[in-house]
Structure 1
Amino acid sequence: MDNISDAISVIAQSADTLFILLGAIMVLAMHAGFAFLEVGTVRHKNQVNALVKILADFSFSAVAYFFIGYQIAYGNNFFASAEVLVANNGYELVKFFFLLTFAAAIPAIVSGGIAERGSFTPFLVASMLIVAFVYPTFEGLIWNGNAGFQDWLHATFGAQFHDFAGSIVVHGMGGWLAFTAIYLLGARQGRKPGIAFAPSNIPFLALGSWILIVGWFGFNVMSAQTLNGMSGLVAVNSLMAMVGGTIIAFIVGRNDPGFIHNGPLAGLVAVCAGSDLMHPIGAFIVGGGAGGLFVVIYTRLQRSKKIDDVLGVWPLHGICGLWGGIAAGIFGQTSFGGLGGVSFMSQVIGSIAGVVFALVGGFIVYSLVNKVSSLRLSQEDEYIGADLAIHKIGATSNDK
């Protein structure tokens, strides 16, 4: 009997390791989605830079999270022999891989907001600092119970802040961090309020959206981190939020292809927090609300002289993430068909805490880096485009 029990335990450990590994691979693939969404949105002279930034950001973020960030968030490090690290089929290693793909999404989100005028190396340094210190501090606060914040919420309001797959921890943080960078950089040269630069390539934009949509089911469903914890409810809620965001963005955005392909992403951002609690109808409403929010706020941003958010990452991730964190405290309630176990006040406080943490952390990091080396390209480099100015090559052989 002991041999059978041991064999079952090994199989279960192996299954969990494979489960979270597949999730890590799916979320890793989402970074290609971030890349092509940006490539399709920016002007032709900045397409190479968009592709390079996403891969470089991911790589430098991996180093920062491996050596510093993961230990801050979870208290674990990898300064041990390989024999120790492969315990339980290397589950802790694969868990790191999975959570790294979340952490690296932060610079990828910021990249879309500061596109076409952000310096390359200074933003790489800033991304490393954020993934090493800012993001994991808040991540550990929420997902690992660090510093007693969650215990305080539970004691005061009857439930902890619930963010199953990162509406606030990942997307809200990324969106509001991007807001600080966007504000500090100012608008692009030649941009006039009310007149947006047209996307350079709608098929690439659509490809990026579809890659993100597919990968998001790994992002949400596999946030359970074990095979036993997997829930079909998360998958269907993600689906319903995605289509809800698409439909409302389609209606409110009046057939605009940029809005239609960002609508499903807005819905998926919003549903992350409560995807394991809501009824599918509630998820549809939450996703639809996010799709509408994105279109309305991004449209108004186009009239701003100071806030020039190229891909609309602040409304998409920041505002829709905030809505999702709070909405989990509404549609997660049993009175709205949810599974319960959430507190509206805890959701409000936890969501606002994420916004404040991102704003303060972002202003500190970006201001410090900017003092050492300018976060913005020179006027000449911005004029000729980041592709030629930074990488000395254009997207096609005809570029000079």
Structure 2
Amino acid sequence: MDTTSVGLDVFFVLLGAILVFAMHGGFAFLEVGTVRHKNQVNALVKIMVDFAFSTIAYFFIGYWVAYGVTFFMSAADLSGADAAFPLQGFALVKFFFLATFAAAVPAIISGGIAERAKFWPQVLAASIIVGLIYPFFEGIVWNGNFGIQDWFANTFGAPVHDFAGSLVVHAVGGWLALAAVLHLGARTGRYGPQGRPYPPSSIPWLALGTWLLCVGWFGFNVMSAQSVAGATGLVAINSLMAMVGGIVVATIVGRRDPGFIHNGALAGLVAVCAGSDVMHPIGALLTGGAAGGIFVYCFTLTQEKFKIDDVLGVWPLHGLCGVWGGVAAGVFGLEALGGMGGVSFFSQLLGTAMAAGYAFIAGFALYWLTKRVLGIRLTDAEQRRGADLSIHSIGANPEGEF
């Protein structure tokens, strides 16, 4: 029975890892549909290469930073011969699952810095993020490192609650992206006397990216339980309600703009991650709806008033909606509002501020150093030519371009 139970958990977490891995295709196509045609190849390549380097960084360094676990032993020991590792390689599929989360952070950043980032410097920055910056905070929230969660529990009655990563993944990724975008500056021709907004190159590709992300998100959220016994339909229904809430509000507030609508779904899903296991479905609907409004309003404010050229709007989508999700878990997770309880509003508020502040400061330092040492921005001429030809020497439709 023990072997069967472990085997079910291995399969459960493996399926979750595959679903989240598929989300990286969603990140890729969302970016492909949003950037100009001359940058589509670069968008596809960045997501795949970042995933590979991120996995290596997380395998050798990041997972140890977060959880104190290394893989420098025999395959037999890793599969359960060593008492420190569960049977049937459960620790290995858990690593796979969490690695797909870790690699989502560079995928988030990729959308913000699109069309003007040098290739190898951004790959190096992504590796440092997944090897050191991300797992440091991941270990604090999800592994109780340094006793910080104990302090929250003793001070406010509950630790910071982040079931599936509104803070650990999305807020951290979004605020790191803001730092990167500020260092990179706007794309050539985006602002100024002759500046203009660049419309998406392909709404169908953008929509495909959103659908892939939405489908995979149910693995992202539901399978964050990391065991069959811990899985609950509450997470699934809350994810669904938050997603549709984001769509509805983004449709109304965004005046039926397809970009806002498709990103509204993602905004709702980002926000519900933290409290998806403790909210009532109505609370999840309200959380997702508010996130849809936050994205539409803050995307416009960022692009037009602040003139921050965040191409896919990843700071509003992941950074701000992730922050909202962290706080919302401390509101709609309360028993008084129909939630499961076990959360503290003040823990959520302070923990959310900690996530955003840590990520922005670490990201600002990292991209400042990368900028000074290697340079991170394509030249104006390279940007006009497009990242596809400037970096990869091939366009999205080679046969039709020559």
Letter in 2 for 1:223: S
- 1:175 equivalent in structure 2: 174
- 1:292 equivalent in structure 2: 293
- 1:74 equivalent in structure 2: 67
After TM superposition, give the deviation of residue 306 of structure 1 in Å. Answer: 4.4
Three-state SS of the structure 2 residue aligned to 1:395 is coil
For 1:319 and 1:306, locate their aligned partners in 2 and report how far apart those are by CA, in whole Å: 17
Q: How does 1:30-49 map to 2 (within 5 A)?
A: 30-49=23-42
Contact 2:189–2:196 (CA under 8 A) maintained in structure 1: no
Letter in 1 for 2:187: R
Q: How does 1:2-21 map to 2 (within 5 A)?
A: 8-21=1-14
- 2:135 equivalent in structure 1: 136
- 1:398 equivalent in structure 2: 400
Three-state SS of the structure 1 residue aligned to 2:304 is coil
After TM superposition, give the deviation of residue 361 of structure 1 in Å. Answer: 1.0
Q: Structure 1, residues 273-332: CA drift from partner, whole Å, max 9, x if none?
A: 000000000000000000000000001122146410000000000000000000000000
Letter in 2 for 1:46: N
After TM superposition, give the deviation of residue 378 of structure 1 in Å. Answer: 1.3
Contact 1:183–1:306 (CA under 8 A) maintained in structure 2: no
After TM superposition, give the deviation of residue 192 of structure 1 in Å. Answer: 2.6
After TM superposition, give the deviation of residue 398 of structure 1 in Å. Answer: 2.2
For 1:227 and 1:196, locate their aligned partners in 2 and report how far apart those are by CA, in whole Å: 47
Correspondence 1:389 to 2:390: yes
Judge which range, 298-307 or 359-368, deviates more. Answer: 298-307
Three-state SS of the structure 2 residue aligned to 1:276 is coil
For 2:64 and 2:321, locate their aligned partners in 1 and report how far apart those are by CA, in whole Å: 29
For 2:45 and 2:189, locate their aligned partners in 1 and report how far apart those are by CA, in whole Å: 24
For 1:86 and 1:358, locate their aligned partners in 2 and report how far apart those are by CA, in whole Å: 35
Correspondence 1:374 to 2:375: yes
For 1:258 and 1:374, locate their aligned partners in 2 and report how far apart those are by CA, in whole Å: 31
After TM superposition, give the deviation of residue 58 of structure 1 in Å. Answer: 0.1
Taking only aligned residues, the RMSD between alpha carbons, in angstroms, comes to 0.9
Q: How does 1:1-400 map to 2 (within 5 A)?
A: 8-87=1-80, 88-192=87-191, 195-304=196-305, 306-396=307-397, 397-399=399-401
Letter in 2 for 1:285: L
Q: Structure 1, residues 183-221: CA drift from partner, whole Å, max 9, x if none?
A: 011111111379421000000000000000000000000
Question: Which runs of 5 or more residues in structure 2 are unaligned?
Answer: 81-86
Three-state SS of the structure 2 residue aligned to 1:377 is coil
Identity of aligned residues (%): 62
For 2:199 and 2:129, locate their aligned partners in 1 and report how far apart those are by CA, in whole Å: 31
Q: What TM-score comes out, normalization by structure 2 length? A: 0.97
After TM superposition, give the deviation of residue 158 of structure 1 in Å. Answer: 0.4
For 1:89 and 1:170, locate their aligned partners in 2 and report how far apart those are by CA, in whole Å: 28
Letter in 2 for 1:144: N
Q: What TM-score comes out, normalization by structure 1 length? A: 0.97
Three-state SS of the structure 1 residue aligned to 2:401 is coil
For 2:26 and 2:401, locate their aligned partners in 1 and report how far apart those are by CA, in whole Å: 24
Letter in 1 for 2:244: V
For 1:169 and 1:302, locate their aligned partners in 2 and report how far apart those are by CA, in whole Å: 25
Contact 2:191–2:307 (CA under 8 A) maintained in structure 1: no
Aligned residues: 393
Contact 1:393–1:399 (CA under 8 A) maintained in structure 2: no
Contact 2:246–2:265 (CA under 8 A) maintained in structure 1: yes
Q: Structure 1, residues 330-350: CA drift from partner, whole Å, max 9, x if none?
A: 000011100001000000011
For 1:369 and 1:293, locate their aligned partners in 2 and report how far apart those are by CA, in whole Å: 31
